[in-house]
Amino acid sequence: MRIKEVQFISSSADIEDCPRAPLPEYAFIGRSNVGKSSLINCLTGRKSLAKTAARPGKTQTVDHFLVNDRWFLVDLPGCGHARVSKTRRDRFGRLIESYISERVQLVCLFVLVDARREWQKSDAGFLRWLGEGEIPFALVLTKTDKLRRGELQKNLSHYKAQMRHDWEVMPKFFSTSALKKWGGDSILTYIDELNQSLRLVPQNQSSRLANKVRPTSCTIHFERG
C-alpha cells in the first residue's frame, strides 16, 4: 500500500476529545522510548510527523494521523518507564486504558517491544488483558538494527515460546527498525488487508466491537469480515 497523504489531526488528552470520524484506527503502544513515534514516521515516510525524543515520555497525548483520508494511525503515550514519574505514568495509564477499551474504531493494536529486551511477566499480563477484552493485536519488535541476525532470531523464538503458555494461536509478529526502515512495508500490507476485510455494519447489528461502544460514540461500527 502506498501512503499518498498523511495529515496530523489532533492530540487528545482525553478519550472524549478524539476525532468523531467513523474511520478505522491502528494504534501503537509500548513502553516509553520503545520507538512508537519513530515507527509511525517510518511507515508514513515523514521524518518528524510524530515527535520523537531520546528521553522517555515524549508523547503525552493520543495523537491521530489521517492517512489517505481513509484511516488513522494513532500514537499513544508510553507506559511503564521507570524514568517517567509515577503520577504521569498513572495519568497515561488511565488514558491508554480508556482508549483501548472504549475506542470502537480501533481495528488493531500494535504492541511494540524493544527487540533487545527480555520478555517480562508484565508483557504477558498485558496481552492476557487484551485477550480478555477481545482487543485484536499484533506484536512488533523494534530497534532490530541493534541486534545481530542470530540474536534477533533467538529473541523472537524466546518471545514465541513465552507466548505459547497463554495463546493457542500466535498473533502476527513484525520485526522492524525505524532507523534502517526495515519491516514497515509488512505492517502497511497487514493494515491494508485489515482495511479490505472491514465491513461497515449498522449499530444495532452485533459486532465483536459493538458491545464496547458508548452511546455517545460514532454511529457506525466495524466488523472484521
Ligand X SMILES: Nc1nc2c(ncn2[C@@H]2O[C@H](COP(=O)(O)OP(=O)(O)OP(=O)(O)O)[C@@H](O)[C@H]2O)c(=O)[nH]1
The residues binding ligand X (CB under 6 A) are: 30, 32-38, 52-54, 56-59, 77-78, 142-143, 145-146, 177-179
User: Nearest 5°: CA angle at 78, between 171 and 210?
Assistant: 55
The 39-78 site mask, x for binding Mg ion (CB under 5 A), equals -------------------xx-------------------
Q: Which does 64 bind (CB under 5 to 8 A by kind): Mg ion, ligand X, none?
A: none
Taking CB under 5 A as the binding criterion, the range among 2-10, 35-43, 147-155, 181-189 that sits at the site for Mg ion is: 35-43
Q: How many residues bind Mg ion (CB under 5 A)?
A: 4
Chain position carrying cell 505459547: 164
8-state DSSP, 133: T
Q: Which of 18, 27, 34, 37 is close enough to bind Mg ion by CB under 5 A?
A: 37
Q: Which is nearer to ligand X, 186 or 203 (CB)?
A: 186
Are 89 and 79 contacting, i.e. CB atoms less than 8 angstroms apart? yes
Q: Which is nearer to Mg ion, 109 or 209 (CB)?
A: 109
Q: Which is nearer to Mg ion, 53 or 200 (CB)?
A: 53
List residues near Mg ion by CB under 5 A. 36-37, 58-59
